[in-house]
């Protein structure tokens, strides 16, 4: 309702009058939170009233963005015990300033997965020198407390801070800790309402609540009272409380879209279990049993049960065993070692999706020609960073056809990079894998994002296909679909894909 100037009384709606009067009680300037607390109105009522008062020149609204930072669970642990590099350097100092990495970790009580993180930051902060050959650290100088450590201590005491209120050094430290995934950061807009001279004047003239009807009822209509009452006017542009309708997770929606595209291209989906035998994860793919990929730093072994049934016919096992030992009928000389059936039975967490391709080639339902794909969860003990996780998804595919060649493989890779990831440039380079020859690495570029490596591909070697009873070419690829989504959605940290951050999940646009 407009305010009429030059008259003794000013009519306002009840919430508007109460908001204006409360503002005056608070000294003419207050935050929305203060107004809500003092007036006991809801936040939506206060904001609607404030917008109407602003339109009528009775108040001004000042908006200021604030960044609230607080430690997450991992950060709280470091606030109590110190950052991992501080724990390690303290242990090194107690060991005399020079010691082996394993001894330092044992002395500091650092968990295995935190050792690479501690070593990386120690070197970055130039606290010590690492001799990678001897696997030893030697201190250089006195490790001074950094701004990142000071901020961790502050947050350990204060629980949360407004980043803009910190000095420049601590603001830089907050960005560093955010990059290390030790902080939960939330952007908030703080609004302050200030009464104007016109607002003060309206109060002095005796602003009062106007009697208005907000709902047209049957009694008003039947009795004809609707002709005599004043109906409240609504501002359809006024701010309202945000609502967040349910929707699929942005990344899950992307996976569904990729599946749909592949199915439309004639591919059939391959499925399998997360726990796999070493036979299918390695042996059937012509990876020798002494290959570095089988070390505990590169694959997860199942503790119990340790062994399982291979799941292949004895004739297939004999073929694979002979291929590893002497090349069998493949024309190869093999790996020249004594093959262990017990090692083949060892259970592991699936390290790549290619094991599903090996199982599919043995399936009685295999069609030639045929196209197959899978989106498989894989597991590797990597160090967590912006592009690596210990669990990740891989889109795996094979095409089986007697007429296939390398050109067909390159065409499929180009399609993935351009149509699915939205890349502007594609780079294909020779690579090496035990189970493909030739082998190709796929990298792609997107403006504003840069180059990123997606994974490998190639044509299965005869040492893979012939022992499984396949006598035609098979092209195969295994690409990091997590990274495909990162490029398409312009996400710069792979950990965000599995985030529980509701703000990110609610506001992430559909891609």
356 Cβ partners below 8 Å, 6+ apart? 270, 271, 272, 374, 376, 396
Beta bridge partners of 385: 388
Taking only Cα atoms into account, the Rg of the chain, rounded to an integer number of angstroms, comes to 33
- The residue ranges of every structural domain in the chain are 71-185, 252-272+350-507
- The pLDDT score that the predictor gives to residue 6 is 40
Query: Is there a contact between 292 and 394 (Cβ–Cβ < 8 Å)?
Result: no
- Does the domain formed by 71-185 have CATH 3.40.50.300? no
Element (H, E) at 488: helix 481-489
Residues 511, 494, 156, 128, CA torsion sign: negative
User: Alpha carbon 304 to chain centroid distance?
Assistant: 31
The one-digit pLDDT tens for each residue of the chain (511 residues) are 444 444 334 567 778 888 888 888 888 898 888 888 888 888 888 888 888 888 888 889 888 888 899 999 888 988 888 999 999 999 999 999 898 888 888 888 888 778 888 888 888 888 988 887 788 889 988 888 999 999 999 998 888 888 888 899 998 898 889 888 899 888 888 888 998 988 888 887 765 555 566 677 888 788 787 777 777 666 676 666 677 777 888 888 889 988 998 898 889 999 889 999 999 999 999 999 988 888 777 889 999 999 999 989 999 999 999 999 999 999 999 999 999 999 999 999 999 999 999 999 999 999 999 999 999 999 988 777 777 788 889 999 999 999 888 888 888 888 878 887 778 888 889 999 889 999 999 888 888 777 888 888 999 999 999 999 999 999 999 888 888 888 888 788 888 888 777 777 777 765 5
- The pLDDT score that the predictor gives to residue 200 is 85
- The pLDDT score that the predictor gives to residue 235 is 65
CATH topology for 252-272+350-507 is BirA Bifunctional Protein; domain 2 (3.30.930)
């Amino acid at each position: 309702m407009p305010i009429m100037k030059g008259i003794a009384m000013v009519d306002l709606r009840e919430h508007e009058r109460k908001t204006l009067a409360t503002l005056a009680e608070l000294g003419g300037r207050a935050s929305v939170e203060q107004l809500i607390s003092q007036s006991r109105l809801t936040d939506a009522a206060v904001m609607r009233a404030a917008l109407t008062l602003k339109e009528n020149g009775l108040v001004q609204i000042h908006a200021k963005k604030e960044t609230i930072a607080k430690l997450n669970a991992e950060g709280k642990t470091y606030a109590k015990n110190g950052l991992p590099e501080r724990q390690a350097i303290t242990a090194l100092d107690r060991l005399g300033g020079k010691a082996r990495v394993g001894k330092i970790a044992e002395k500091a009580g650092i968990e295995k997965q935190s050792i690479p993180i501690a070593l990386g930051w120690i070197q970055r902060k130039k606290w010590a020198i690492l001799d990678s050959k001897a696997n030893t650290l030697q201190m250089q100088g006195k490790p001074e407390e950094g701004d990142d450590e000071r901020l961790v201590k502050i947050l350990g005491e204060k629980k949360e801070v407004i980043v803009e209120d910190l000095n420049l050094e601590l603001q830089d430290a907050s960005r560093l800790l955010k990059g290390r995934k030790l902080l939960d950061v939330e952007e908030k807009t703080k609004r302050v309402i200030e009464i104007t001279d016109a607002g003060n004047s309206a109060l002095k003239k005796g602003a009062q609540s106007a009697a208005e009807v907000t709902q047209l009822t049957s009694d008003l209509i039947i009795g004809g009272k609707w002709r005599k009452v004043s109906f409240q006017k609504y501002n359809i542009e006024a701010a309202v409380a945000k609502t967040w309708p349910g929707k699929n997770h942005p990344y899950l929606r992307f996976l569904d879209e990729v599946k749909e595209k592949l199915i439309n291209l004639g591919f059939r989906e391959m499925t399998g279990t997360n726990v796999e035998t070493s036979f299918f994860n390695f042996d059937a793919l012509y990876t020798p049993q002494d290959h570095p990929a089988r070390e505990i730093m590169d694959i997860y072994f199942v503790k119990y049960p340790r062994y399982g049934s291979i799941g292949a016919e004895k004739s297939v096992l004999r073929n694979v065993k002979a291929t590893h030992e002497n090349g069998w009928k493949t024309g190869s000389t093999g790996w020249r070692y004594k093959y262990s059936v017990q090692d083949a039975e060892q259970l592991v967490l699936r390290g790549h999706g290619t094991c599903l391709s090996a199982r599919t080639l043995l399936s009685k339902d295999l069609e030639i020609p045929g196209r197959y794909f899978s989106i498989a969860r894989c597991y590797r003990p990597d160090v967590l960073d912006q592009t690596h996780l210990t669990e990740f998804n891989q889109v795996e595919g094979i095409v089986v056809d007697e007429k296939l060649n390398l050109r067909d493989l390159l065409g499929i890779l180009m399609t993935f990079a351009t149509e699915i990831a939205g890349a502007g440039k594609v780079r294909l380079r020779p690579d090496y894998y035990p189970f493909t020859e030739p082998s190709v690495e796929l990298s792609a570029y997107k403006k504003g994002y840069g180059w990123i490596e997606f994974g490998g591909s190639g044509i299965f070697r005869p040492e893979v296909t012939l022992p499984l009873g396949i006598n035609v070419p098979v092209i195969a690829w295994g690409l990091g679909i997590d990274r495909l989504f990162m490029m398409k959605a312009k996400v710069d940290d792979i950990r965000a894909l599995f985030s529980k951050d509701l703000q990110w999940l609610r506001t992430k646009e559909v891609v």
